[in-house]
Chains A and B, each alone.
Chain A
Amino acid sequence: MDTVSFVSPARVRTLLVPIGSLEREQFQRYVRDIEVSSEVRLVDVTRTRTRTFNPQGFPDGRVLYDFTTSLDSQETLFLQDFEPYRKTFVVIGLASSLEEPQEALESLKRLYKSSVVHCIVVFDKKPEFEHESVIFNATNTETVICDITRLFLDGLTGYLVSFQHITLRSPGTLGGNERAKTPVVKSKRISSGSSIGFSLSSDPANSKISIKSSNERRQARIKGRQQKILGNLLLIAGKYSDALKEFQEALILLKSGYDYLWIASTLEGIAVSIVMLCYLDLPYQLGPALNSALHSSAQPLHTLSSPSSTPNSSPRSSMAIGSLDLERFTTTELIYQILCKMIYYFESSQSDPEDYVPDLVYCESILRFLKLMTVVNFAGGLNTLCLHHMIKGRPLSIHSDIPYTYDKMDMVRISNKVMSVQFKSMDILSQTRIFGSLSALYGDMGLPRKRNFMLRTLFVCLIPQLKAQPGSSTDYDLTDIFNVLMSVYGVDRQSEANIESAHAPRWIQIVKSTLKLCSAISAELSDVESVIKFKSLMLTRFADSLTDNEQAKLLADIERLSKEHDIQVYYPDPFVLRSINLVKLSNPPMKQKTAVKENSTDPVLYNPYLQTAIIDKSYVVQGEFTEFLVEIQNPFAFAISINEIKIPGLEIFKNHFTIQPKTIGKINVLTKPLTPGKLVIDSAEIRISEFSIQRFKICKAEKAANPPKLKHQETTNKDILNTFYKNMVSNNVDGRAETSQIELHVITAQPNLQLTSHIEPLMLLEGGKQIVEVKLKNHSDISVNILKFSIWDSTINPLSKLLESRDKLATDLYEYEYFLYKRSVNIISKIDEIQPNEEVPLLLEVVGKRGAVKVKLALEYGHSDDSGLQFTRCLDIPVPITVQQSTDLADCDVIPLSESIGSSEVPIWQYVNEKGGAVSDYVLFFVDIRNVSNKPINIDVQYKDYKVSDNIVPMDTKRLTIPMKRIDIDYENLKPIPLKHSRFTRSRISKNEEQFQKESFWYREELLRDLKGTWSIGEITGDIEFRGIRLTQKMLTVMRVEKVNVSIDIEGEVARTGRFRHLTPGEFFTVNVTIENKTERALKGTLRNIPTTSTYGSIEKKILYNGILQMPLDEDIAPGTSVTHSMGAVLLESGEYEWGAVFDELGNELQHVSRIPLYIKAT
């Protein structure tokens, strides 16, 4: 039965004990049998010997039994004279069969001396011994209980008699209550003694019975107390009307004796009697004594200010102080008034040094009062539902829509009185009862926080008790209570699994304290698993609010407990794994977009623009060491060690790492991929410190959160600890963190080539060549059947950069490209395949390329099989090279030849004459070569079949003269400059300029094609670089064979010496000017003859000509034809003359000049 049931003063406390050898289950079955008939109607009980408790006098009455199987009234022994219902009146021995009933009965009486009735119920075997206290449970337990009731009522008479001759004293004067009494000064500290919330006017006036002397007052007290006890006993005995009468009489006497304590207790008795009469549905009569008692003083409950402005449902409201009329009250109001008064009198008694109220009585009375109010509130009034719940323990269905009979805040105020009591001196059982009942009451009243506060207080007071009794039973399952406790204090928010929870504000101080408390309680109950869970939870969810020491201590505790009890523990930080990254392989295989074709004729074709397309994926090779960078966070104040990391699909080499406190550590993990295929890594199994191995997802970042501004309706009774553990085990972090994954492609084993020998550093002169050998070894079991060489040298980058610039002329760009494509290394040996573990030599010809500082041979190799997927890896073969300049092209020039020199001594003339043809078809090409090496140098230069050699001392310059036939190309229809990557450059240059660019380019190309040169210093030879040649406009004019050729000659045979024709003054001659059209267009224009003289004077006076010097041509000159224009002339004076001709083409600006003028000497 409920310990704070309002009707417990009307119950008979009965102890059930087993007799003889009885199995536990059997005993419990008997107990259940007995408990069925806990209510006995007096009409069923045979009459007793005396009149007082004679059941026949009040046949409607009931005797209510409160069966217990443990004797827990020892602590309240001193209260039994004050509140007799605390006494265990009846002891019933339960037996299966009984051999020696007399002895058993005797021992019962000996053991439970204070009880009034001792009897034995025999269940199975009828005892032979006949005794009224030994009852055989023949038919049903009800008759047995009726028999016992008669015994009890008889015994009660005897008990009453024992009271009649003693002076009843208040419990305060009896031993046992160690209340430190400070009646005058009421301290409100918890730490000091008494703590009464408020004081009242000490003297309740208006007593109707005035008693003068203290002696009379004492007598009234003695009599009143006797009657009150009688009332209590009658209440127990079920004679409620009599009890009510006795209580009222007692009230009068006690009032006249100012015995507040006993008045209060009497008032409670009256209230209980009324409730019981209501239960029996009988009317009750109230005398004036009660009225006066209720009337006597101001309302005690108005001492607390009430903010309530609409106390419509409160029974208080209908009451006018000072003019009480009991008839006006409903029963609920009446009971409320009586009980409020009871509290008032209890409090009044507290100032009395002797007759003060014991704390336990005070608290329990208030709790009973509160319980009554709660039940009445739920049932919607003091109705059958309510009464049956209170008395028979029938379940009460809660109707939330019924307005409360009693005001909730009023109840809270009354409940607060309990918390003004000094509990430290109270025994633990009473304390737990009070706190437990109070928390249950608060729970019923819909005050979860108050309930939690009480639960916490209960636990706090339990801890020292549990400590005192180590090794208590672990049977208790406190999970539900803990869940309730924690969820109200906000521990239930799953911050590890939910971002909203993680950002939800909470009361850290309370949370910490609660968790410590729960953990301590579990520890005392030896529930190690829960202790570990609590501690882990604290670390996981509230680490940021713990000090460094606390964190370290928690960790130590968890580790110690898990070791001692061999319990699996999980690492408290679910976000430990922050990232896994593949460390860029030193030589990663690359996927070829298309299968590499069989090595073409030239395996070393370097084209920086035609790079192999690489699909941007991470490839790792099966069975090869692959390194990962794993980021591990440690938010805690203690260092953690990573003892094991497992990533599925990878073989991991064990390593131990330590992550320092409050850091993110990066650790390198060496692995070997096991099987080819796609590998997605989203988590890793990690064993941290002493914790068991766990799978952690990669938590990249925290999700964005929007903290709630409104409180959610909290759903209690979540299994907080297990939910937490489930989160930890399954690493349920998706609600809080953004997880990520990395995707790897594991490819089948690939060959591995290594360079087994290195090239010694080389010093080359520009243009020089040297052959070197390196050795390649295939270290794998896979053959290499794809081999691609590419060459890189340090000139590539600057040249590429130059190529990108926009303001370069096409000729320059061509030069850049030329040098870009010019190789600095040639591969001599041809390798198709390298077998596993084979070593092959590789012969290279290294060329001294101008400007090369670093040269590298990049070898892409791989294994190609039928699958089509091809991966190559790169092997760099560095060629350490230093290129020194050998020769320098200082300058060049071209001059035309107009006059043949018949010498055969000079090789040039020899060459020119040998070749035949007009001298004017040849030009002389000069090139200045400077020796910039530090040794004398021999040079050999060849142009077509003309050779010239020379020797140049260091830092000296030599000019070489080379005869060259004029170059006949179609300069009017030149192709554009061939660039590998055509582009629009300098589009705004003029047409002439463009023509010049083209001409200079193509003439130079012609020139360079035939111009070869080598140098030699001792053994070393090399090519002379002629690309430095730049042709100017003048040089071009000299070099080219014109399309329109203007030649002048004198008709007929004329004597000539050297370049001069000999004429005599006065001699007539005809000058023929021939215009030859080699173009593809018809020419028209004006021919101009320009005769000049070398001597002083005007030409008009020295020469006469027939016709005009300037004359337009009559007819067009068709392509491929020539026109000759003749003009007669005579020289007037002797001297030297020069006759030139110019053909001005019509339609364009072109002017064609006769290459060699006509030289005439007149003598």
Chain B
Amino acid sequence: MSYYLALIGTTDNPIYEAEMGTYRQGGDGVPKFSAEMKELNPFIVHAAIDIVEDVQWRSNSLYLKAVDEFYGYYISAFVTPGNIKFLLLHETKNDESIRQFFNDVNDLYVKTVLNPFYNVNDPITSAVFDLKVKQLGKKYL
């Protein structure tokens, strides 16, 4: 199973993107998206922003669960109070794990924002952030 995570800034710009594979069920953590899917991933996620922008006003929680689907892929969303959208493209529904995953990614994101040299909407280029997100992926996904 493969996951595609995108953190979307306030101007529809990705500030962080990652493709991950699962370690469960004998997975090796390597994403196995087809070439076609790889190209489509950003578009699917981008299209889901529409839904997120609608759904986020209907819920009090930051985690919006699966908001959209496309060809059997689900898109789960998490919106930070600063309106940064975390979108995860996944194949099976697993609300609880994804919720934990998002919460922990949010922790990481908040730490990034605390950095005085980081501006909102800047791409996150920290290798540590990347590593930690991948570790969270390994832990929860």
Say if A and B assemble together. yes
CB–CB A513/B43 < 8 A? yes
CB–CB B54/A409 < 8 A? yes
Chain B CB within 8 A of A936 CB: no
CB–CB A188/B42 < 8 A? no
Least CB separation from B43: chain A residue: A453
CB–CB A709/B10 < 8 A? yes
| Interface positions of B from 57 to 85, Cβ below 8 Å from A | 58-60, 64-73
Q: Please tell me which one of the listed residues B36, B43, B65, B122 contacts residue A510 in the complex, with CB atoms under 8 A apart.
A: B43
Chain B CB within 8 A of A195 CB: yes
CB–CB A309/B70 < 8 A? no
Neighbouring A residues of B34 by C-beta, 8 Å: 189-191
Contact stretch, chosen from A102-110, A300-308, A789-797: A300-308
| Interface positions of A from 961 to 1016, Cβ below 8 Å from B | none
CB–CB B71/A449 < 8 A? no
Q: Please tell me which one of the listed residues B43, B68, B121 contacts residue A707 in the complex, with CB atoms under 8 A apart.
A: B121
Neighbouring A residues of B122 by C-beta, 8 Å: 505
- Please tell me the number of chain A residues within 8 Å of chain B, measured between CB atoms: 42
Neighbouring B residues of A416 by C-beta, 8 Å: 68-70
| Interface positions of B from 1 to 51, Cβ below 8 Å from A | 9-15, 34, 36-37, 39, 42-44, 46-51
Least CB separation from A311: chain B residue: B58
Least CB separation from B95: chain A residue: A305
Chain B facing A: main interface SS: mixed
Complex CA gap A544/B99 in Å reads 36
Contact A309:B54 (CB < 8 A) given known A195-B71, A507-B14, A507-B42: no
Which of A307, A452, A490, A707 has the most chain B CB within a 10 Å cutoff? A307
CB–CB B72/A197 < 8 A? yes
Complex CA gap A510/B44 in Å reads 10
- Please tell me the number of chain B residues within 8 Å of chain A, measured between CB atoms: 43
Complex CA gap A507/B44 in Å reads 13
CB–CB A307/B44 < 8 A? no
Complex CA gap A218/B19 in Å reads 51
Neighbouring B residues of A197 by C-beta, 8 Å: 69, 72
Neighbouring B residues of A513 by C-beta, 8 Å: 39, 42-43
Which of B15, B37, B64, B67 has the most chain A CB within a 10 Å cutoff? B67
CB–CB A309/B91 < 8 A? no
Q: Please tell me which one of the listed residues A195, A442, A506, A709 contacts residue B120 in the complex, with CB atoms under 8 A apart.
A: A709
Chain A facing B: main interface SS: loop
Q: Please tell me which one of the listed residues B36, B48, B51 contacts residue A191 in the complex, with CB atoms under 8 A apart.
A: B36
Neighbouring B residues of A709 by C-beta, 8 Å: 10-11, 120-121
Q: Please tell me which one of the listed residues A187, A453, A712 contacts residue B46 in the complex, with CB atoms under 8 A apart.
A: A453
Complex CA gap A712/B121 in Å reads 14
Chain B CB within 8 A of A408 CB: yes
CB–CB A189/B121 < 8 A? no
CB–CB A307/B50 < 8 A? no
Least CB separation from B9: chain A residue: A505
CB–CB B66/A452 < 8 A? no
A303 to chain B, nearest CB (A): 10
B33 to chain A, nearest CB (A): 11
Complex CA gap A189/B91 in Å reads 9
Neighbouring B residues of A436 by C-beta, 8 Å: none
Least CB separation from B37: chain A residue: A190
Least CB separation from B73: chain A residue: A188
CB–CB B11/A504 < 8 A? yes
CB–CB B47/A305 < 8 A? no
Neighbouring A residues of B68 by C-beta, 8 Å: 412, 416
Contact A456:B43 (CB < 8 A) given known A197-B69, A707-B119: yes
Complex CA gap A307/B68 in Å reads 11
| Interface positions of A from 189 to 227, Cβ below 8 Å from B | 189-191, 195, 197
Neighbouring B residues of A711 by C-beta, 8 Å: 10-12
Chain B CB within 8 A of A708 CB: yes
A1034 to chain B, nearest CB (A): 79
Chain B CB within 8 A of A710 CB: yes
CB–CB B12/A490 < 8 A? yes
Complex CA gap A191/B65 in Å reads 26
Least CB separation from B49: chain A residue: A449
Least CB separation from A413: chain B residue: B69
Chain A CB within 8 A of B110 CB: no
CB–CB B72/A420 < 8 A? yes
> What mask results when residues 360 to 390 of chain A are scored 1 for a CB within 8 Å of chain B, else 0?
0000000000000000000000000000000
Complex CA gap A188/B64 in Å reads 23
CB–CB A450/B55 < 8 A? no
> What mask results when residues 403 to 442 of chain A are scored 1 for a CB within 8 Å of chain B, else 0?
0000011001000100110000000000000000000001
Least CB separation from B55: chain A residue: A307
Chain B CB within 8 A of A447 CB: yes
Least CB separation from B13: chain A residue: A505
Complex CA gap A420/B71 in Å reads 4
Neighbouring A residues of B58 by C-beta, 8 Å: 307-310, 409
**Among all A-B residue pairs, the 8 with the closest Cβ atoms:** A188-B72, A505-B13, A453-B47, A447-B50, A449-B50, A190-B71, A450-B47, A711-B11
Sample of 6 further A-B pairs with CB below 8 A, known A190-B36, A442-B50, A509-B42: A188-B73, A307-B67, A409-B51, A449-B48, A504-B11, A709-B120
- The interface of chain B, by Cβ under 8 A from chain A, is 9-15, 34, 36-37, 39, 42-44, 46-51, 54-55, 58-60, 64-73, 91, 93, 95, 119-123
* 28 A–B pairs (Cβ distance < 8 Å), ordered by A: A188-B71, A188-B73, A189-B34, A190-B36, A190-B72, A195-B71, A305-B93, A305-B95, A307-B59, A307-B65, A307-B67, A309-B58, A310-B58, A416-B70, A419-B69, A419-B71, A447-B54, A449-B49, A449-B50, A450-B51, A453-B44, A490-B11, A507-B13, A507-B42, A507-B46, A707-B119, A709-B120, A710-B11
